[in-house]
């Protein structure tokens, strides 16, 4: 019998089909991060993260978000329990969180990237989101065949957006494209991020990738911590071809654009 997997997916950045120059500066990327773990690995990971949260005094039903680090550094707290945490303590938490993920043999990352700052794309938001999910699902299907099975779980978003995305993904997988989705659940499940260690991992991973891209493509701000985490925890577990190629396998530009791909290749060689 083949392996069964969960794939957790989350987003970073914002997309606009007609972005102003100010929007491009403030939101240079829209990304989705997809994190795969086998069900057996996730069972252990979930237990380990619960212990970690208890150690850090995170209340049941609460979570640490990737964005909390930046908000806390500015003296902003979205919840009272965060007031007892410093930015350095948060950094230690993220690192220990990833330490518990990377020792799982099934861990794999797939990222889809829209370069808003440089890429002309006049399509509606729901179409671009569908393309991101399609690129991820194609790679999940390829990775899971012949006998495995994967279920994709995403954070709860705006309900209208979730409904559109679920309908688009279901139609795509039932009707197929050049891929037959025989090894993937024909839909997307949603979960509250505070109740899912996997969705939290996807949040951290896509936040790290966002920082890595900003540092190396835009050179704005201090993203050295995100880059350090990328190099230590994310890069070794990116999906890749047997020859080591990452672009097109673990990292994919959306929509397909050869000029954007040439920009990304040096970052993932």
Give 32-85 pLDDT, tens digit per residue. 999 999 999 999 999 999 999 999 999 999 999 999 998 988 889 999 999 999
Q: Are 33 and 113 in contact (CB under 8 A)?
A: no
Query: What is the mean pLDDT of the segment spanning 180-186?
Result: 94
CA quadruple 214, 220, 221, 227: dihedral positive or negative? positive
Q: Give CA 112 to chain center in angstroms.
A: 8
Share of the chain above pLDDT 90, in %: 72
**Range with the poorest average pLDDT among 62-76, 101-115, 196-210:** 62-76
Cβ neighbours of residue 258 closer than 8 Å, sequence gap 6 or more: none
Judge whether residue 120 has pLDDT over 70.
Answer: no
Interval 16-43 mean pLDDT: 93
A 10 A CB-CB count for 160 gives 9
- Cα(99)–Cα(118) distance, rounded to whole angstroms? 34
94/15: higher pLDDT? 94
Instruction: Provide the mean pLDDT of the chain.
Output: 93
**Count of domains observed in the chain:** 1
CA dist 25 to 20, 29, 71, 121, 190, Å?
9, 9, 19, 16, 31
Q: Is 183 left (phi over 0), alpha (psi -120 to 50) or beta?
A: alpha
pLDDT band (50, 70, 90) for residue 263: very high
How would residue 167 be classed by pLDDT, with cut points 50, 70 and 90?
confident
SS (H, E, C) the chain: CCCEEEEEEEEEECCCCCCCHHHHHHCCEEEEEEEEEEHHHHHHHHHHHHHHHHHCCCCCCCCCCCCHHHHHHCCCCCCHHHHHCCHHHHHHHHHHHHHHHHCCCCCEEEEEEEECCCCCCCCCHHHHHHHHHHHHHHHHHHHHCCCCEEEEEEECCCHHHHHHHHHHHHHHHHHCCCCCCCCEEEEEEEECHHHCHHHHHHHHHHHHHHHHHHHHHHCCCCCHHHHHHHHHHHHHHECCCCCCCCECCCEEECCCCHHHHHHHHHHHC
| pTM (two decimals) | 0.95
Rounded to whole angstroms, what are the CA distances from 46 to 53, 94, 196? 11, 15, 8
Average pLDDT over residues 157-161: 78
Please name the residue that has the structure tokens 């390829």. 142
Tokens found for residue 133: 């999910």
Q: In the predicted model, what is the mean pLDDT of residues 6-27?
A: 90
User: Which range marks the domain in which residue 192 is found?
Assistant: 4-268
Q: Which of the residue ranges 105-114, 206-215, 255-264 would you say has the lowest mean pLDDT? A: 255-264
Strand order in the sheet with 4-13: 184-191, 149-155, 4-13, 29-38, 108-115, 251-253
Residue 97 near residue 204 (C-beta atoms within 8 A) = yes
Whether 119 has a pLDDT exceeding 80, the answer reads no
- Give residue 160's pLDDT: 81
């Amino acid at each position: 019998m083949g392996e069964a997997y969960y794939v957790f997916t989350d987003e970073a950045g914002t997309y606009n089909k007609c972005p102003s120059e100010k929007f491009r500066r403030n939101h240079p990327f829209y990304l989705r991060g997809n994190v795969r773990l086998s069900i057996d690995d996730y069972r252990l990971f979930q237990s380990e993260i619960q212990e970690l949260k208890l150690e850090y005094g995170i209340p049941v039903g609460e979570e640490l978000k990737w964005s909390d680090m930046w908000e806390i550094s500015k003296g902003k707290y979205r919840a009272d329990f965060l007031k007892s945490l410093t930015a350095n303590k948060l950094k230690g938490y993220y690192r220990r969180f990833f330490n518990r993920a990377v020792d799982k043999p099934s861990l794999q990352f797939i990222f889809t990237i829209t370069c808003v700052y440089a890429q002309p794309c006049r399509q509606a938001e729901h179409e671009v989101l569908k393309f991101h999910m399609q690129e991820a699902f194609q790679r999940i299907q390829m990775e899971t065949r012949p006998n495995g099975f994967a279920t994709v779980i995403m954070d709860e978003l705006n309900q209208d957006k979730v409904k559109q995305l679920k309908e688009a993904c279901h139609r795509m997988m039932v009707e197929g494209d050049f891929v037959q989705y025989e090894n993937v659940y024909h839909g997307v499940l949603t979960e509250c991020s505070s109740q899912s260690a996997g969705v939290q991992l996807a949040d951290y991973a896509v936040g790290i990738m966002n920082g890595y891209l900003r540092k190396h493509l835009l050179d704005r701000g201090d993203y050295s911590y995100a880059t350090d985490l990328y190099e230590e925890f994310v890069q070794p577990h990116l999906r890749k071809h047997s020859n080591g190629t990452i672009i097109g396998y673990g990292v994919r530009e959306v929509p397909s654009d050869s000029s954007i791909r040439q920009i990304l290749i040096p970052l993932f060689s």
